[in-house]
Structure 1
Amino acid sequence: MLPPAEAIDELAAAVDRLRTLPGNEGLRWTGHDGWHFTLAFLGEVDEELLPAVEERFGRAAARQAPFSLRLHGGGHFGRRALWAGAAGGLDAMRLLADRADAAARRAGVAMDEHRAYKAHLTLARSRTGSDTDLRPYVDALAGFEGTAWTVSELALVRSNPPTAGVPGAQPRYEPLRIWPLGH
Structure 2
Amino acid sequence: MRLFAAVLPPPDAVAELSSAVGPLRSLPGAGRLRWTAPADWHFTLAFLGEVDEALLPALTERLARAAHRHPPHELRFAGAGRFDDRVLWIGADGDRTALRDLARSAAAGARRAGVEADGKHPFRAHLTLARATDPVPLRPYEEHLAGFSGAPWTVERLALVRSKLPASGVPGERPRYETVAEWGLGH
Q: TM-score range by the shorter chain?
A: over 0.9
Q: Which amino acid aligns with 1:24?
A: A
Task: Give CA deviations for 1:57-107 in whole Å, capped at 9, x if unaligned.
Answer: 000000000000111131111122111111001000000000001011111
Residue 160 of structure 1: aligned partner: 164
Post-superposition offset of 1:14: 1.2
Q: Is contact 2:46-2:118 (8 Å) kept?
A: no
What whole-Å deviation, never above 9, does each CA across 1:110-148 have from its counterpart, x for those lacking one? 233353210000001112xx2211111110010111110
Q: Distance in 1 between matches of 2:93 and 2:131?
A: 22
Find 2:93's aligned residue among 87, 96, 110: 87
Residue identity in the other structure for 1:40: A
1:134 is matched with which residue? 138
Runs of 5+ in structure 1 lacking a partner? none
Structure 1 CA distance, aligned partners of 2:118 and 2:74? 29
Describe the SS at the equivalent of 2:27: coil
Distance in 1 of aligned mates of 2:145 and 2:112:
38
- 1:161 Cα shift? 1.1
Residue 41 of structure 2 is aligned to residue 35 of structure 1: yes
CA contact (8 A) 1:26 1:131 kept: no
Large movers: runs of 4+ above 6 Å = none
User: TM-score, with normalisation over the residues of structure 2?
Assistant: 0.93
Give percent identity, aligned residues only: 57
The alignment status of 1:173 with 2:182, answered yes or no, reads no
Measure, in 2, the Cα distance between the counterparts of 1:112 and 1:156.
15
In the alignment, which residue of structure 2 is the partner of 1:116?
122
Moved more, 130-139 or 86-95: 130-139
Residue from 141, 146, 151 that aligns with 2:150: 146
Q: What is the match of residue 4 of structure 2?
A: none
Q: Determine if the alignment matches structure 1 residue 103 to structure 2 residue 109.
A: yes
Q: How many angstroms does 1:168 deviate by?
A: 4.0
SS of the aligned residue for 2:45 comes to coil
State the AA in 2 paired with 1:86: A
Q: The residue matched to 2:9 in structure 1 has which SS?
A: coil
**What is the DSSP-based 3-state SS (H/G/I as helix, E as strand, rest coil) of the residue aligned with 1:113?**
coil
Report the TM-score when normalising by structure 1: 0.95
CA–CA distance in structure 2, aligned partners of residues 98 and 114 of structure 1: 13
Structure 2, unaligned runs of 5 or more: 1-6
Q: Alpha carbon RMSD of aligned pairs, Å?
A: 1.2
